[in-house]
Amino acid sequence: MRYIDIDNINFIPGRRLERSDTFSFHCHKDIACFNKCCRNLNLFLYPYDIVRLKKCLNITSDEFIDKFVDVVSREQHFFPVVLLKMSDKKEAECNFLSESGCSVYLDRPYVCRMFPIVQGTFYDAQAGIDKSLYFFNPPPFCLGKSEIKEWTPDLWIKDQDADFYTKMAGEFEELQRLFQSDPWGAEGIGGQKAKMAFMASYNIDKFRDFLFNSSFLKRYKIKSDVLKKIKTDDVSLLKLGFEWIKYYLWSIKSLNIKMRS
């Protein structure tokens, strides 16, 4: 998913689709281009992707970030993006690509699920518009677009089991929009606040450890039912992390967390 502003909506590659528009596509193991698309990618990872992948690989989020992630800063954005690291092999294929396909298929990232659809959000605060946009954008070598199976964006999301991913990506996107202005002040993007926000977004196991084994709970009060849940539930903790970042950096009122007086 990416943000699309009003001025450049016509420059997004691919065919724009409304939710009821159709596109033809079918990807399968016998297709000549099988696995060709899983190489040399700038593949954005969302926080929920990391929750799923680290669980699938049975490692911590810290290990996952260390081993499988590139963290990239962007101009005019005050929060880095996280990309899935490609291998050092000649064709820079994805580290999860195996001969028989994606080795983490059931937990593959959101962008992989949606492919060849690119989802974006058309957001205009003044006009009150917050709308999902879809673009059909298979690469030229992708033969799946010549197959006759027909989809709409809605049917595709359902088929790829991407509903919950879409919801979680939307929640993160709401947070990311706030980073269009600089919340770091004098300490800058390399400072302590930025490290904390990164941890709460992407490094869920470390965030949990920090939350329960530092003075955090002496400084913040968390609703008791939420506190109980986040001990073991990564998704609840991730949602609380988003809430906490908004509260911590922008003083946006939170339902579940507040500063102790």
Instruction: Work out how close the CB of 42 gets to ligand SF4 at its nearest, in angstroms, rounded to a whole number.
Output: 11
Instruction: Work out how close the CB of 31 gets to ligand SF4 at its nearest, in angstroms, rounded to a whole number.
Output: 5
Instruction: Work out how close the CB of 245 gets to ligand SF4 at its nearest, in angstroms, rounded to a whole number.
Output: 26
Structure tokens that stand for 55 in this block:
């669980």
Give whichever of 110 and 242 is closer to ligand SF4, judged by the CB atom: 110
Residues of the shown chain interacting with ligand SF4 in the complex, contacts defined by CB under 6 A? 27, 31, 33-38, 43, 94, 96-97, 102, 104, 108-109, 112, 138, 142-144
Instruction: Work out how close the CB of 161 gets to ligand SF4 at its nearest, in angstroms, rounded to a whole number.
Output: 13
What sections of the chain are H helices per DSSP? 47-57, 61-68, 110-114, 153-159, 163-178, 192-202, 204-213, 216-219, 224-230, 234-250
First to last CA, the chain: 39
Give whichever of 47 and 138 is closer to ligand SF4, judged by the CB atom: 138
CA distance 145 to 77: 34
Give whichever of 110 and 207 is closer to ligand SF4, judged by the CB atom: 110
How is residue 145 annotated by DSSP? G
How is residue 88 annotated by DSSP? S
Give whichever of 71 and 129 is closer to ligand SF4, judged by the CB atom: 71
